[in-house]
Amino acid sequence: MAKLAVTQPSGSNLNEKRTIGQKIKEFAVDFWRQRELQSMIIPGIIFMIIFCYIPIYGLTIAFKSYTVIDTLDSAPWVGMENFKIIMSDRYFWDAVINTLGISFLKLGIGFIIPIILAIMIYELSFTRMKKFVQTVSYLPHFLSWIVLGGMMINWFSTTGLFNQILLDLGIISKGQNILLDPGKYWWIATLSDIWKEAGWGTILYLAIMAKIDPTYYEAAKIDGASRLRQIWNITLPNMRSIISLNLILTVSGLLGSNLDQTLVLMNSQNREKAEVINSYVYRMGLTQGDFSYATAVGLGVSIVSVILLVTANKVTSKLNDNQSVL
């Protein structure tokens, strides 16, 4: 700790009189003194440079006409051409609408459900039941969309589980494959995603709830607060920061709606409502070999996502007494 204190830039007037050479020397000395600490961060920096920063150069292909046999340098520049095409591409805009539609449904419903579920689990006093509910709700998270999607295609088939239950209950008279119904796709995507992830989403909340001081509750009980009152006045306020953090992360991912899910559940009939930006980029980039176009879309999406992230951070910090989470 003492070593660390030495390296704090003092910013005093004395420092300003030193030459650049001295400063470099000082920096080197400081660096050497804390070499053990610095060496821990170096692998991380190198990793970031190689896998996160160097690939950024690859974004230039969004402004080029690039094919497999070109290098990043040899592909001819085409300026904003790819972006112009995106603007007039109906399929792209369909994909944007679907992505936003599905994402907002997921945000509206899928964001609140883990919070409610976490509170319900937290309020359960029977420990075994608590463990059981947690395990059951986590389980789908560990299955990939390939498996879950296959199961869903099976369940929704005309003779599958879903139709069988409806037939037995007398709700319908003939099996229908709802995966072929574009009007229902957004709901299928949203609800199946909630089923898969809601349980997993409770982990953070449960962790934060475990840290709430039990004396708050005791005091509240003495004051005669009901269970709901306790949740409202103690549990929720204590979860505020983690809820904001989650919201920021979710909002920044609005445009990145689940690719795996779409690729498994999309078919020729529900495509108009199922195609999301990611699956569109996948189709254009990988199956059509139109790398430049796909990169241009990806770049645009990234920029919008950053804007969303910053906006969400601003909004939540306003709600959180001007305390920013990021």
Partner 1 sequence: MIKMNRVLRKKGLSLGAILLAVMLTITACGSGGGGGSKSASLPDLDGRYTPDPSTPAWKLDTKKETTDLTWYVNADWWNTDFGKDTVTKKIKEDLNINIKFITGDDTKLNTFFAGGDMPDIITVFDSNSAVAQKASTWALPLNDLAEKYDPYFNQVAAKDTMNWFQQKDGKTYGYPDYSNTQADYDSGDIPAKTAFIIRQDVYEAIGKPSMKTPEEFVSAMEKIKSQFPSLIPFGFNSIGTGTGSLGDVLQDYLGVPLEDKDGKFYNRNLDEDYLTWLKTLNTVYRNGDISDDSFADDGTAFEEKVKSGKYATILLDGVPQQGGNLQTFMTNNPEDKYIAVDGPQSTVGNQPTLNQSGITGWMINYITKKAKDPAKAIQVFTYLLSDEGQALVNFGIEGETYKKNSDGTVEFLPAVKELQLTNSDKFKKDYRMGEFIFFGHDRYKALNKDSSPEAIKQLQEWGNGKLKPHFILENINPDQGTPEARSLSAIDTTWNTTLVSLIRAKTDDDFNKTLDAYKKFLDENNWSKIVEIRSEKMQANRDKLGIK
Residues contributing to the site for partner 1 (CB under 8 A): 9, 11, 15-16, 20, 23, 27, 45, 48-50, 53-54, 57, 65, 67-74, 85, 89-91, 150, 153-154, 156-159, 175-177, 179-180, 267-269, 271-272, 283-284, 286-290, 292-293
Distance CA 91, CA 99 (A): 12
CB of 248 to partner 1, least distance (A): 23
37 or 129, CB closer to partner 1?
A: 37
40 or 48, CB closer to partner 1?
A: 48
188 CB contacts (<8 Å, ≥6 apart)? 152, 156, 178, 179, 265
Can you name the residues that pair with 64 across neighbouring β-strands? 77
Q: Which of 223, 220, 253, 254 is nearest to 237 (CA)?
A: 220
Residue 77 main-chain phi, psi, to 5 deg: -70, 140
279 CB contacts (<8 Å, ≥6 apart)? 95, 259, 262, 263, 266
CB of 101 to partner 1, least distance (A): 19
CB of 245 to partner 1, least distance (A): 24
108 or 289, CB closer to partner 1?
A: 289
Distance CA 84, CA 253 (A): 25
Q: Which of 284, 286, 282 is nearest to 263 (CA)?
A: 282
CB of 261 to partner 1, least distance (A): 14
9 or 170, CB closer to partner 1?
A: 9
Residue in this structure with the two tokens 């498994």, named with its chain if needed: 264
CB of 66 to partner 1, least distance (A): 9
63 or 156, CB closer to partner 1?
A: 156
CB 135 within 8 A of CB 199: no
CB of 209 to partner 1, least distance (A): 37
Distance CA 312, CA 261 (A): 25
156 or 205, CB closer to partner 1?
A: 156
Distance CA 39, CA 32 (A): 10
CB of 50 to partner 1, least distance (A): 8
19 or 125, CB closer to partner 1?
A: 19
